[in-house]
Each structure stands twice: as C-alpha cells, then as structure tokens.
Amino acid sequence: MQIATKEVSAVDMVKTALEKAKRFENYNIFISLNEENALRKAKEIDEKIKKGENPGRLAGVPYALKDNFLNPEGNSTAASKILEPLGSPITATAVEKLEKEGAIMIGRANLDAFAHGSSTENSYFGPTKNSKDEARVAGGSSGGSAVAVALDIVQFATGTDTGGSIRQPASFNGVFGFKPTYGTISRYGVVAMASSTDVIGFFTKSADDMDLLMSICAGQDPKDMTTLPDYYNQTPAKDVKRIGVIKDFDNDKVAPEIREALKSEVKKLESKGCEIVELDMPTLKYALAVYYIIVPAEVSSNLSRYDGIRYAYRSDDAKDLADVYSKTRNDGFMPENKRRIMIGNFVLSSGFYDAYYLKAQKARTKIIEEYSKAFEKCDFILTPVAPNPAFKLGEKVNDPVSMYLEDVMSVPINLAGLPSLSLPVGETKDGLSLGLQLIGPRRSDKNILAFAKELA
Ligand code: GLN
C-alpha cells in the first residue's frame, strides 16, 4: 500500500485518484464522488505528518466505498431509487476503522441494487463496464469496486459478498477479492441483503494489502451480535501441504480456459511440493437451489423495512396508506429486487415453508458437513470462481436463471460461512481476466492470505 509520507502528500494522492475517477467516467464506476470531504481529510493527514504525529496505517490512501455502506458523507443509495435520497446519520463500523487509520473515501462505487445480481446491470444508475472490455459486464454485485481497483483509480475498495459479490467481480477484472469467514468483520451500517450469508471484504492488488485491511477491520463489534472475537490477528502460521480439487467442477459447463487455468495452477502447486487431493462433494450440486431459497427468504424480510414511511423515497401520488407502501415499493425497487421479494414470500408462506425453506435449511447443514469432511483431507480447496469469464452486457439480464447459474461455484462457500480468496491467474486469449478461488475452513483467513503471498 502506498501511504502518504513527507515525500508523497495525501492531497496529491487524493487529487490523482479523483482525476482518474473522472477520466474513466464512461465506465460508470462511481455513483457519486466525495471530492470536498476527501480533499479536506487529505489536508488533515498532511498536517499530521508535518507535525510528526502518527497518521495511521492507511494514511491518505484513497479508496472506493461500495454504496451499500452507510456513512454521512453524501447519500447511501445501495444503487436503488428507494434509497437514493438517503443521507445516513450513522457510519458503518468497517468505514470507521478504515478512516481511523487514515484511509480516504473518494467515491461511492456502483453495485447491483441492494447487491442482488452478478453483473452490476441491476443498478438504478446503469451498468458498470468491465475493465478489460467495455462491451462486457464488470461482474457483480460489487462491480464498481472491482473496476475502481483494476483501473488503478484507488488502491483498495470495499465490498460485500452474500453469494460471490466480491470474488466474481474480482475474477472478472484481474484483482484480488476476499470473502472472510462469516462474522469476521462487523456488518453494522451495511445495507443487509441476506443476514446469514452477508460478509464484508475487500478488493486489492495484492494479498499483502488484503492482509493489512483484514488486520485493521477484523474483530468483535457490540453493534453486530454475529461478529467473532478477533481471531484474525491471533492466527498461528500453518504449513499448507494438501490442496483439494473438486471432481464435479471439471465438466463441460465450465469454460475450457477456466479449466485450463485450474490445471496449470494445480501443476504449479505440485511443483511447489503440495499434494493434490481429489474431492468428491456430491451435495454441492444442490447449493445453488438452496441459496436461491434461503437468500430470497432473508431478502424479503430485510427489504420489508423500506416502506416509504421511515426511509428516503416515498411515492407522492398515493391515495391511502396501503397505496403508499405499494406505489413506493413498486417504483423504488428494481425488477430483480421485486423478484426476490416475491420468491422469498413464497418460500416462507405457510403452505410452502416446509417444502422449500425448511428443506433448504436441512440441505444447507449437509453442505456444511460436506465441507467439514473435505477439510479433514486437505488444507485448502482450489476451484474456479465462476464457470465463465466476463459475459457481454445485456447477454443475461433478461434471463434470471442463466444469471443465477453464474453463481454456482461461489454460493456454496457463503452457505457454509467459509473464507475464500479470489486470485487473478491470467487472461484468456481475448484478454479477459481469469480468477480462481482458494477456500479454507472457518477462521483460516490469515493462512489463506499467507499462502497466496507465497504463491505470488
Ligand atoms: N450473485 C449473487 C446473487 O445475486 C450474489 C450476490 C451477492 O453476493 N451480493 O445473489
């Protein structure tokens, strides 16, 4: 991480980042820029440095904030119309921790509205373009964050990962994207998608930078009862020898270039002395179906608070209270948000709860058990992040099922609450980025990043 010093001023770093953000405006990376606040904070950092005070481990480092993190600087939209006018009174814990170390938010990054999606095409503010090919999607839902790092506008960006939203856009843009163990970083002040799988994580250019951000943000927060005590900074080093690969993932639904990339990475690991363990994980094929029952169920509950009364946008042509709710919600949500609210209500309704929701929860337990067994045989598992590299803008947006199928390799990890690092492993012959993910048992986050450093 390049931090501000006597030689490199925070003001210059922030100015450069803002200039770049403007230069790349056609990629639609940012929903809003935070120019005035960022420059004011940069001056304060430079003052501290001049006075010889400690400016923090992220002094003057410009970053992009996925726009589902709350912060009073500007509006927190979650890329939706319904929250577009939301000036937040609170600051997310993760933001507080980053800024305490001197990091400076230069803009709010685009996403699929409420983080529902795999391409950033579901944003009320329009899609973000891929950093390698402007005709292709950035990936999602944290598309803006991934592209902001890939184009070197900022040194890092925040993300949320409910079913792949950090790892998949990271792999589509050739950067590192880390989804920590569930509960490692506080979710306080982050717009909830599915509370039992949502995690906070980051996009960076290296495993080293990722480690630094994790060491700053990990830890228990009294404002989020699901946070774990800080195990991250106490993790003992581990010698990693056995890498698992999943048999079922080597099939013709996975793009040949991705299968090739996996094979060559496996060879590299073997040459470094790792033992490759073939894993049979037959339950994983149910993970996508399980995810698309449990997540919409939680989404429908989490989104019920946006009723036009308590938050932000309200439709002004309603004739009575019921009409306020329905017009506000119909107008304020994107089609994908509404689809999930409907699926969620359906699977939770009295006639279908047992058949769908309860069954999905049982299957989720099986998936968790299958991973636990796998980790008796290996230290980490290496798999693709997604079955294809970045697809064309518009290609899947009207076909939700084909969009959901892109998540088949990322969602099982969230259902089990495991840490996973998406790491860049090269490009296709057309120059599209390829990524693989390294998955570990719960609380092995630090060791995953240490192993990735070794691989580099
Ligand atoms: N693409 C997945 C979905 O649409 C994951 C989204 C996310 O992680 N926020 O649900």
Q: Report pLDDT digits (tens) over 375-398.
A: 999 999 999 999 999 999 999 999
For residues 9-38, give the mean pLDDT.
98
- Is 377 one of the annotated active-site residues of the chain? no
pLDDT of residue 248: 85
* Closest atom of ligand 1 relative to the 115 alpha carbon: 9
For residues 286-292, give the mean pLDDT.
97
* Closest atom of ligand 1 relative to the 168 alpha carbon: 1
**Is the Cβ atom of 206 under 6 angstroms away from ligand 1?**
no
Q: Which residue has the higher pLDDT, 251 or 447?
A: 447
pLDDT at 250 over 90: no
**CA 141 / ligand 1 centre spacing (Å):** 6
Catalytic residue among 9, 41, 48, 66: 66
* Closest atom of ligand 1 relative to the 406 alpha carbon: 1
- Is 300 one of the annotated active-site residues of the chain? no
For residues 233-238, give the mean pLDDT.
96
For residues 12-25, give the mean pLDDT.
98
Task: Report the share of the chain in percent with pLDDT over 70.
Answer: 100
**Is the Cβ atom of 165 under 6 angstroms away from ligand 1?**
yes
**Is the Cβ atom of 407 under 6 angstroms away from ligand 1?**
yes
Query: Which residues have C-beta within 8 Å of that of residue 408, sequence separation ≥ 6?
Result: 287, 288, 386, 387
pLDDT of residue 252: 87
Cα-based torsion angle of the residue sequence 360, 80, 217, 229 in order, rounded to the nearest 10 degrees: -40
Q: Which of 126-130, 250-254, 416-420 has the lowest mean pLDDT?
A: 250-254
**CA 193 / ligand 1 centre spacing (Å):** 9
pLDDT, tens digit, for every residue of 351-371? 999 999 999 999 999 999 999
HEC string of the chain?
Answer: CCCCCCCCCHHHHHHHHHHHHHHCHHHCCEEEECHHHHHHHHHHHHHHHHHCCCCCCCCCCEEEEECCECCCCCECCCCCCCCCCCECCCCCHHHHHHHHCCCEEEEEECCCHHHCCCCCCCCCCCCCECCCCCCEECCCCCHHHHHHHHCCCCCEEEEEECCCCCHHHHHHHCCEEEECCCCCECCCCECCCCCCCCEEEEEECCHHHHHHHHHHHECCECCECCCCCCCHHHCCCCCCCEEEEEHHHCCCCCCHHHHHHHHHHHHHHHHCCCEEEEECCHHHHHHHHHHHHHHHHHHHHHHHHCCCCCCCCCCCCCCCHHHHHHHHHHHHCCHHHHHHHHHHHHHHCCCCHHHHHHHHHHHHHHHHHHHHHHHHHCCEEEEECCCCCCCECCCCCCCHHHHHHCCCCCHHHHHHCCCEEEEEEEECCCCCEEEEEEECCCCCHHHHHHHHHHHC
Residue 131, burial from CB neighbour count under 10 angstroms (0-12, 13-18, 19+): buried
Q: Which of 114, 160, 407, 420 to mutate to test ligand 1, by most ligand atoms within 8 A of the CB atom?
A: 407
Q: Which of 112, 145, 405, 406 to mutate to test ligand 1, by most ligand atoms within 8 A of the CB atom?
A: 112
**CA 34 / ligand 1 centre spacing (Å):** 26
Tokens at residue 256, please?
Answer: 């040949």
Residues in the chain: 456
What is the pLDDT confidence band of residue 251, given thresholds at 50, 70 and 90?
confident
Query: Which residues have C-beta within 8 Å of that of residue 237, sequence separation ≥ 6?
Result: 447, 450
CA atoms within 13 A on the CB side of 24: 27
**Is the Cβ atom of 414 under 6 angstroms away from ligand 1?**
no
For residues 297-310, give the mean pLDDT.
96
* Closest atom of ligand 1 relative to the 161 alpha carbon: 8
Among residues 85, 92, 156, 145, the alpha carbon closest in space to that of 115 is found at 145
* Closest atom of ligand 1 relative to the 117 alpha carbon: 4
**Is the Cβ atom of 298 under 6 angstroms away from ligand 1?**
no
pLDDT at 45 over 80: yes
pLDDT of residue 455: 85
Query: Which residues have C-beta within 8 Å of that of residue 435, sequence separation ≥ 6?
Result: 167, 170, 171, 172, 174, 177, 384, 385, 422, 423, 424, 425
Report which protein residue has its CA nearest ligand 1's atom 2. Answer: 163
Q: CATH topology for 10-234?
A: Amidase signature (AS) enzymes (3.90.1300)
Tokens at residue 82, please?
Answer: 């319904």
Catalytic residue among 145, 165, 186, 300: 165
**CA 209 / ligand 1 centre spacing (Å):** 24
Distance of CA 330 to the CA centre of its chain: 27
For residues 151-171, give the mean pLDDT.
98
* Closest atom of ligand 1 relative to the 140 alpha carbon: 1
For residues 256-274, give the mean pLDDT.
96
Q: Domain boundaries in the chain?
A: 10-234
| Average pLDDT taken over every residue of the chain | 97
Q: State phi, psi for 168 to the nearest 5 degrees.
A: -70, -50
pLDDT at 439 over 80: yes
- C-beta contacts of 133-136 below 8 A and 24+ residues apart: 133/390, 133/430, 133/431, 133/432, 134/26, 134/27, 135/392, 135/393, 136/172, 136/390, 136/391, 136/392, 136/393, 136/432
pLDDT of residue 98: 98
**CA 236 / ligand 1 centre spacing (Å):** 32
**Is the Cβ atom of 163 under 6 angstroms away from ligand 1?**
yes
Report strand pairing: 156-161 vs 62-66.
parallel
What is the pLDDT confidence band of residue 153, given thresholds at 50, 70 and 90?
very high
**Is the Cβ atom of 337 under 6 angstroms away from ligand 1?**
no
- Is 66 one of the annotated active-site residues of the chain? yes
**Is the Cβ atom of 422 under 6 angstroms away from ligand 1?**
no
pLDDT of residue 438: 98
pLDDT at 321 over 90: yes
**CA 7 / ligand 1 centre spacing (Å):** 42
* Closest atom of ligand 1 relative to the 407 alpha carbon: 1
pLDDT of residue 429: 96
What is the pLDDT confidence band of residue 172, given thresholds at 50, 70 and 90?
very high
Catalytic residue among 141, 171, 186, 420: 141
**CA 320 / ligand 1 centre spacing (Å):** 35
